[in-house]
């Protein structure tokens, strides 16, 4: 990981997220007072503690995986997040993909399996 410690990397990730969140709220149409008017420690704990804790554990696991796995394995495992989210959406929420979503996925596939870019073979 170079010269950075784990705690520095995690801290900088979280600081970056905080800055982006503040910028997003600041650029919105609502005023700060409107955004934070209903916030209390109790409401925050009730609504955000569990997702925030899960997200924290995920970030730490991702950092440990990055340090201990070869790049291909890490990237394949990291991409399974998208697949697992779609699977959970299908199983838990009983929500299937629309025909439009399925068609878009099929159209993204390579037009010619022998030439991944779809370009004509120059030989």
Range of lowest pLDDT (42-51, 93-102, 108-117): 108-117
**Which pTM was predicted?**
0.49
Range of lowest pLDDT (14-23, 26-35, 55-64): 26-35
Query: Is residue 79 within 8 Å of 62, Cβ to Cβ?
Result: no
Q: Cα(123)–Cα(119) distance, rounded to whole angstroms?
A: 12
Q: List the alpha helices (DSSP H) in 1-123.
A: 6-27, 32-36, 41-68, 71-91, 99-108
Greater confidence, 97 or 51? 51
Is pLDDT of 3 > 50? Answer: yes
Mean pLDDT, rounded, of the chain = 77
> What is the pLDDT at residue 121?
45
Q: Cα(123)–Cα(120) distance, rounded to whole angstroms?
A: 9
> What is the pLDDT at residue 50?
92
């Amino acid at each position: 990981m170079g010269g950075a410690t784990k705690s520095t990397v995690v801290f900088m990730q979280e600081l970056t997220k905080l800055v982006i969140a503040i910028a997003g709220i600041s650029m919105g149409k609502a005023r700060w007072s409107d955004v934070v008017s209903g916030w209390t420690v109790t409401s925050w704990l009730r609504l955000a503690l569990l997702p925030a804790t899960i997200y924290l554990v995920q970030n730490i696991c991702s950092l440990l995986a990055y340090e201990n796995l070869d790049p291909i394995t890490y990237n394949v495992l990291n991409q399974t997040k998208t697949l697992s989210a779609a699977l959970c959406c299908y199983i838990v929420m009983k929500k299937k993909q629309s025909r439009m979503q399925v068609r878009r996925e099929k159209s993204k596939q390579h037009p010619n399996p022998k030439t991944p870019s779809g370009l004509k073979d120059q030989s």
